[in-house]
Structure 1
Amino acid sequence: MSRPAPESEHCHTADQLEHPHDFGQGQKRKAERRATLVTLLTFVTMLAEVAAGLWTGSMALLADGIHMAGHAMALGLAALAYYLSRRHAHDRRLSLGSGKIADLAAYTSALMLGVSTMWLMYESAHRLLEPGALMPKEAMTVAVIGLVVNLVSAVLLTGKHEHGHGHGEHEHDSNLGAAVAHVMADVVTSVAAIVGLGAAWIFGWHWLDPAIALVASLVILRWSWGLLRQTAGVLLDREGPDEIRKQARKQLQRMGDTDVVDLHVWSVGQGSWTLVAAVVAHGATTPEQYRAKLRTIKNLHHPIIEVSYCQQCARERKQG
């Protein structure tokens, strides 16, 4: 099997074959503004909850504050990653674009959150064995405020206040989707803190407060581990979704008599993909024609196609 250059009536100049290098990361997203706004809101509330937890002696409230601290860090890194990805979208030193900056930021925040959660579990276990002073009434006031802030943050991130115009962007942005999930986890831990403080206030069950903090810590660790696995897969170029692979294979095989012998799809940013494919053409289809066919796949950028031409088919074309 050889690779003779197929006859073509048209020659393409370098300018015509030039591909955008931003891999879909060059435009400013609404998610960047949302993440920045929610980061500021979460950070202020986090400071209030941590201070109130230390003042009132509530480990559940402190747990919620630490949880919000981790999410404020994650949201802040996400907002910074959006900015850096956009700023360096056309930087040729980044061979596959700047999209993975967001995944690197998420991976880093997950590691830091895991460390802070270990400290929280130690303090909660110590308080469970040696109960200290607790001011449940005062702590509950701050916890309720934290719950309200979390609910507002969830609405801001999902964009539902914009009459549904942000829904499409959320569906294709795993970074923003993860941020929404983190805020909803904050809602759960805020409710747990309120329950624990209510039990301490009404029934005098002070032991329930650190116990709930331990349970909340396990929730945080589970989220942290899940985020580590997800982002590590992207950073290590894990194979992309089967849906995109099937679409790409189908589009390539539509170009006459074509066999797809190798195909790799991987993430190059939030909702952005690229691929490398090797095909055997039994006609005179050019790599540019294959790439043109792949343009119908949304969010697929800069595909690379290696074409091998059937030697027998080439001889038959010359004889004909």
Structure 2
Amino acid sequence: MKIPDCKKLETFSYFDAENEKKTRYVLALTFVTMVLEIGAGSIYGSMALLADGWHMGIHAAAFCITLFTYRYARKHKNSGEYSYGTGKVGVLGGYTSALILGIVALGMALESVDRFVNPVAIEFNEAITVAVIGLIVNALSMVLLQDHSHHHHGHEHHEHHEHDEHNNHQPHQHGHHDHNLKAAYIHVLTDALTSVLAIGALIMGKYVGWIWLDPMMGVIGSIVISKWAWGLMKQTAPVLLDKAIDPQYEMKLVAKLEAEEVTIQDMHIWKVSADHFCATLTLHDAQARTPAYFKQCLQEFDTIEHLVIEVNPN
């Protein structure tokens, strides 16, 4: 039996060549700095610097996941293997990176607490120099990813976008949410934060004698990173779990159908990517009107980009 040649849902595919290129550059910078900081942190005895180096190392692994995600999405973009395209591939990459961030935060916290109990001597001048180099690399990486940096700082923007999307029924004007690249950006941002904390701790330790500040900055950094990781997981998990659409949006759709004097026998509306929804409706209509008629009635609900309607006259 020949499968019909159906229209591809290309809007749900997930691939961005420019973002993949940026991530590749950031991976190279991160790897070089990782080697430098781990070596210098071990030699000069700085927990903050060593934590920054290992932090970068785990982020390098996360960037490899990001690159794999882009390439996988590109390879399967038009393969037809996925019913609704590869829209969730990038979301899965972002969720995985969030888990890695959580592991990084836990490791930093445990190691920092150990340094409170078992302090070590620190060679401040050398450690500060390497930490500054790491911060410069982080800044360069953030510049490479700056086109999408607003995704991290704009959690309120994300919620506002969802509000507009659900209540004003406007089509998407700002492109898709690249959770994969957002995860990469957060990894770079956490590296920058750790570098800043390390530099501050080392300077205070050198000139004021507050050696305890070095592991303290590790604890503070782990708390901040945990918060960012949790926020990213909260944004990606609902997509992976086929979260339903906003209840108010659904109620307006139901009201529209009930105004047509039909009975809704079954309805499912769920996310198939970071920005796209699909819906299946089973209606009872005594007038035996066609599915095309009801699709026309629901045309204003353009947040739902793939709508399947079954009409039962009995």
Output the TM-score relative to the length of structure 1: 0.74
Q: Which moved more, 1:170-179 or 1:119-128?
A: 170-179
Q: Give 1:141's aligned amino acid.
A: T
Segments of 5+ residues of structure 1 without an aligned counterpart are: 1-13, 162-167, 312-320
Matched residue, 2:218: 213
Partner of 2:170: none
Paired letter, 2:79: D
Query: Equivalent residue of 1:89, what SS?
Result: coil
Cα pair 2:179 2:236 within 8 Å, conserved: no
Task: Using the TM superposition, name which of 46-55 and 209-218 deviates more.
Answer: 46-55
> What residue in structure 2 maps to residue 77 of structure 1?
65
Deviation at 1:109, TM superposition (A): 3.2
1:265 counterpart SS class = strand
- 1:20 has 2:8 as partner: yes
Indicate the residue corresponding to 2:290 in structure 1.
286
Moved more, 98-107 or 125-134: 98-107
- Which residue is equivalent to 1:275? 279
Work out whether 1:194 is the aligned partner of 2:182.
no
User: How far 1:79 moved relative to its partner?
Assistant: 2.4
- Aligned with 1:264 (options 250, 262, 268): 268
Partner residue in 2 for 1:86: 74
Aligned-residue CA RMSD (Å):
3.4
Of 281, 300, 306 in structure 2, the residue corresponding to residue 302 of structure 1 is 306
Counterpart of 1:114 in structure 2 is: 102
Q: SS state of the match for residue 8, structure 2?
A: coil
Matches of 2:256 and 2:93, distance apart in 1:
38
1:63 Cα shift? 2.2
1:222 is aligned, of 200, 217, 227, to 227
> Which residue matches 2:50?
62
Count of residue pairs brought into register by the alignment: 287
**Residues 271-299 of structure 1: CA deviation (Å, up to 9, x unaligned):** 33322234455766533455567677667
Partner of 1:141 in structure 2?
A: 129
Are the counterparts in 2 of residues 74 and 106 from structure 1 also a CA contact under 8 Å?
Answer: no
Asked if the contact 2:93–2:180 (Cα under 8 Å) also holds between the matched residues in 1, the reply is no
User: Contact (CA 8 Å) 1:257, 1:283: kept in 2 or not?
Assistant: no
| Deviation at residue 60 of structure 1 after TM alignment | 1.2
Greater Cα shift, 58-67 or 114-123: 114-123
Larger mean Cα displacement after TM superposition, 294-303 or 97-106 = 294-303
**Alpha carbons 2:202, 2:214 under 8 Å: kept:** yes
Residue identity matched to 2:310: E
Q: 1:28 to 1:199 in 2, by over 3 A?
A: closer
Name structure 2 gaps, 5 residues minimum.
150-172
Question: Matched residues in 1 for 2:32 and 2:261: separation?
Answer: 59
CA contact (8 A) 1:171 1:177 kept: no
Post-superposition offset of 1:61: 1.6
The change in CA–CA distance for 1:34 and 1:272 in structure 2 (over 3 A counts) is: farther
Task: Say which SS state the counterpart of residue 280 (structure 2) adopts.
Answer: strand
Rounded Cα–Cα distance in structure 2 between residues aligned with 1:245 and 1:76: 39
Highest Rg: 1 or 2?
A: 1
Q: Is the 8 A contact 1:73 1:109 kept in 2?
A: no
Is residue 46 of structure 1 aligned with residue 34 of structure 2?
yes
CA shift, 1:81, in A, is: 0.8
Partner of 2:187: 182
Q: Distance in 1 between matches of 2:145 and 2:263?
A: 41
Q: Provide the C-alpha distance between the structure 1 equivalents of 2:206 and 2:120, rounded to a whole number of angstroms.
A: 14
Shift in alpha-carbon separation, 1:149–1:298, aligned structure 2, 3 A: farther
Give 1:263 deviation, angstroms: 4.3
Distance apart, 1:132 and its partner CA: 0.7
Compared CA separation, residues 55 and 242, structure 1 to 2 (3 A): farther
Give how far 1:43 is off.
2.5
- Judge which range, 136-145 or 284-293, deviates more: 284-293
